Structure 1
């Protein structure tokens, strides 16, 4: 039996150095990579992915604990998703968005039915950044106001308004593309900007900060507050009790829309169809992408409330995309709903998160001095690594690179050497495996992280 199938459909075996060399050469000669200095990278060629694993051309196996970019919720090569795409390609490969399409309409219906009370329709995009762009446009067009408030420690995409809304360092070099975006501090109890001593204090003070900023910016100028329901790349920051409901209340009192960015955490990642559903809150607009079809074909979108939908009943919405609601992408989206039901994905995420992951991370906290805090929900967790628990000094400085990032890079290298591909960001190891992962593989991955944390411990300088 062949190890993998090559570009020409031929069966191949691992260890083909010529094939690997060609992949590397083509990549380095012709592919321009995102977020990278092109001469300083050497991307690993991947020959095969299956379930929760991927293999390089030498046959080295990696347990994918990052779900690629936290999009591969149903894993590599899920037969249900592959079949749906193949069957859709066989009957209607593409159709423009101004025409009605059965699979597009079916997916929109299912998304609305699984979203918030009062949801009315879905505008489909090509991915998460597009979804953010269009959610903002919907908010501005429907309210007649321009200003958008978003948080520091956030990532919303790399297109124009989306990168301006992003609160983390990837925004810095992109200038101010949208001058009507303002940032505010969200809750982060472990490194509180508000000197809070309890989660309840963090909620109270973070909400007071937000409302003061709204007053000073002028509520009459603000179209929407946009936030990740659970912050993703910037730390798996689960909102403290009452925070999201408090934001909803502030928005209602000041006539501002609330937009939940669910691009990373939607579709089961936290044990809910959408993460905001775990916090008893109803948004006005919701963005999604990634998990809607595990990225098998690019797809994103915005769930739109009845009120905002009705604002465009008698006037045209000024926006559109050639591939909005692409049938191949939507077919995989419909199949995702079927697979979630058939395989009990939501229930197993809740079970594995609470029964397997959380107790094990508690053990890490007790065992490894370099673990300052663990936090998360479902199959989405973070280990915050420090060199001193008392001062909470991070393992590496904020936005570290080069030699300054060496300690964290050593931890990541230890994971990869042991056969685990981690989700690494800042001074955190973040845990985000495919939602189909078996309990056995989940434990195996956690065992590898357990061992890799001894590397982090070697840099510990506290008492």
Structure 2
């Protein structure tokens, strides 16, 4: 049914907003509008409570309307609402940078602030190219991403990304190549990391042979691919990428916009999977999604290279940045969010409950034959749904709409349903979510 009258929006107002990653025509015929949020629930404009089954957009692991974060933002806006990002600073940016390093691998202790995950990826790729030029290896300009990878919506992000629907409309991007994804035949319904598919890391050697390491600046992968449907790395896969990059003098970038700050049951995906990259991109959970912010962590050697070759002290070592880099409100939100993750031991809670989560999501294996695969790690799960009438995205859309009607928000993307509950989710809420999905699968089938 249409919610236009209930939402108080006119059709003209609805039409004025060109919505991001949305089927605008369908949405504006039947809007799904959220009015408020608290804890683990949204409230829509019909007054219905909706369980947040994706933690916002992988962003709100602490839940919504968190008092400590709200108070930090309110205090900050009443003190310093904006500070110029270039040539001047404010204390909280340095405090937050240090706090972030407490979550990062020890070697990655230099933090550059951005406004989003897309900006973080763009920053990482630019710095990778500039780093090699500083090292006298200016031919190292190419990048290697991975099929089914997602690295934001910028031109650099879609270039190294590997989701076809996000690439085909835009034509030529940056000079980049792609590894195969790790969803290998036989790995279906794996619980956590599979033993199948690690050999696909060897494809990096083929790309190096083809293009030569002297031309390759960096390899960028998500430790766990989130937007493509929770694709968990096979055992040994990330270790092998690290080995090959070391052997051929190529930087390794982990895009941890989804996996950093607790989602994997660890401080980072790097920690969860036991592999340390040269650069980590992050966003989303750093502020609990409340104020837009991203960041990039670099190994100190990369930072030192720019400082040592920066010319006179007053000169810019890196001519790069954003108007909203280290925004005071975002820094206040980030400090409050990360302090809560630490003091409440929420990464540890995710790790402790991940077995319960795994059991629950894999109980859907026999819910309906259209469920062709389930993958999970930490508090994340992806469910692959068989296509309908040759359209891979049709059933996931139908499932997500039916779940919304039942009072549950889940993400549909491509041929998958994606789940990522808040870090503080209760077992009863997990059970309700999974039971509703099982019922919905039967209805849609």
TM-score when scaled to structure 1?
0.86
Q: Which residue of 1 aligns with 2:169?
A: 173
* Offset of residue 342 of structure 1: 2.8
SS in 1 for 2:323: coil
Q: 1:406 to 1:247 in 2, by over 3 A?
A: closer
Cα displacement string for residues 277-323 of structure 1 (whole angstroms, at most 9, x for unaligned residues): 11111110000000101221110010010111011103111211111
SS in 2 for 1:311: helix
Cα displacement string for residues 123-143 of structure 1 (whole angstroms, at most 9, x for unaligned residues): 000000000000001110001
1:140-155 map, 5 Å: 140-144=129-133, 145-155=140-150
* Offset of residue 215 of structure 1: 1.5
Q: Which residue of 2 aligns with 1:215?
A: 209
The separation in 2 between residues aligned to 1:176 and 1:53, in whole angstroms, is: 41
C-alpha contact 1:410 1:455 (8 A) present in aligned 2: no
Unaligned runs of 5+ in 1: 1-15, 193-197, 387-393, 459-463
Q: Which residue of 2 aligns with 1:21?
A: 8
117-126 or 339-348, larger mean C-alpha shift: 339-348
Q: Which residue of 2 aligns with 1:108?
A: 97
SS in 2 for 1:272: coil
C-alpha contact 1:269 1:379 (8 A) present in aligned 2: yes
SS in 2 for 1:91: coil
Unaligned runs of 5+ in 2: 134-139, 188-192, 311-316
The separation in 2 between residues aligned to 1:200 and 1:436, in whole angstroms, is: 30
Q: Which residue of 2 aligns with 1:11?
A: none
Q: Which residue of 1 aligns with 2:402?
A: 414
The separation in 1 between residues aligned to 2:426 and 2:231, in whole angstroms, is: 25
Counterpart among 430, 433, 441 of residue 442 in structure 1: 430
1:265-284 map, 5 Å: 265-284=259-278
The separation in 1 between residues aligned to 2:422 and 2:72, in whole angstroms, is: 19
The separation in 1 between residues aligned to 2:389 and 2:397, in whole angstroms, is: 10
The separation in 1 between residues aligned to 2:158 and 2:337, in whole angstroms, is: 29
Q: 1:425 to 1:83 in 2, by over 3 A?
A: same
C-alpha contact 1:396 1:408 (8 A) present in aligned 2: no
1:24-39 map, 5 Å: 25=11, 27-36=13-22, 38-39=24-25
SS in 2 for 1:41: helix
Q: Which residue of 1 aligns with 2:328?
A: 327
The separation in 2 between residues aligned to 1:261 and 1:79, in whole angstroms, is: 29
The separation in 1 between residues aligned to 2:230 and 2:393, in whole angstroms, is: 20
The separation in 2 between residues aligned to 1:304 and 1:89, in whole angstroms, is: 30
C-alpha contact 1:189 1:199 (8 A) present in aligned 2: no
Compute the RMSD of aligned alpha carbons.
2.1
Cα displacement string for residues 178-237 of structure 1 (whole angstroms, at most 9, x for unaligned residues): 2x1112213112478xxxxx9545212x02212111121111100000001100110211
**Number of positions where the alignment pairs a residue of Structure 1 with one of Structure 2:** 421
Q: Which residue of 2 aligns with 1:7?
A: none
TM-score when scaled to structure 2?
0.90
C-alpha contact 2:367 2:438 (8 A) present in aligned 1: no
Q: Is 1:59 the counterpart of 2:53 in the alignment?
A: no
* Offset of residue 338 of structure 1: 1.5
* Offset of residue 117 of structure 1: 2.4
C-alpha contact 2:385 2:395 (8 A) present in aligned 1: no
* Offset of residue 36 of structure 1: 4.2
Q: Which residue of 2 aligns with 1:163?
A: 158
The separation in 1 between residues aligned to 2:181 and 2:4, in whole angstroms, is: 49
Counterpart among 395, 398, 413 of residue 425 in structure 1: 413
* Offset of residue 384 of structure 1: 1.9
Q: 1:405 to 1:307 in 2, by over 3 A?
A: closer
Q: Is 1:202 the counterpart of 2:197 in the alignment?
A: yes
Q: 1:191 to 1:318 in 2, by over 3 A?
A: farther
Q: Which residue of 2 aligns with 1:382?
A: 382
Q: Which residue of 2 aligns with 1:235?
A: 229
Cα displacement string for residues 15-57 of structure 1 (whole angstroms, at most 9, x for unaligned residues): x9867223x5464142121234644432322111111111112
Q: 1:305 to 1:162 in 2, by over 3 A?
A: same
The separation in 2 between residues aligned to 1:67 and 1:46, in whole angstroms, is: 14
1:344-423 map, 5 Å: 344-354=345-355, 356-386=356-386, 394=387, 397=390, 400=391, 405-423=393-411
Q: 1:411 to 1:67 in 2, by over 3 A?
A: same
C-alpha contact 2:360 2:430 (8 A) present in aligned 1: no
Q: Which residue of 2 aligns with 1:9?
A: none
* Offset of residue 396 of structure 1: 6.9
* Offset of residue 375 of structure 1: 1.4
Counterpart among 106, 121, 141 of residue 117 in structure 1: 106
The separation in 2 between residues aligned to 1:409 and 1:433, in whole angstroms, is: 19
The separation in 2 between residues aligned to 1:212 and 1:18, in whole angstroms, is: 58
SS in 2 for 1:109: helix
* Offset of residue 451 of structure 1: 1.3
Q: 1:19 to 1:426 in 2, by over 3 A?
A: closer
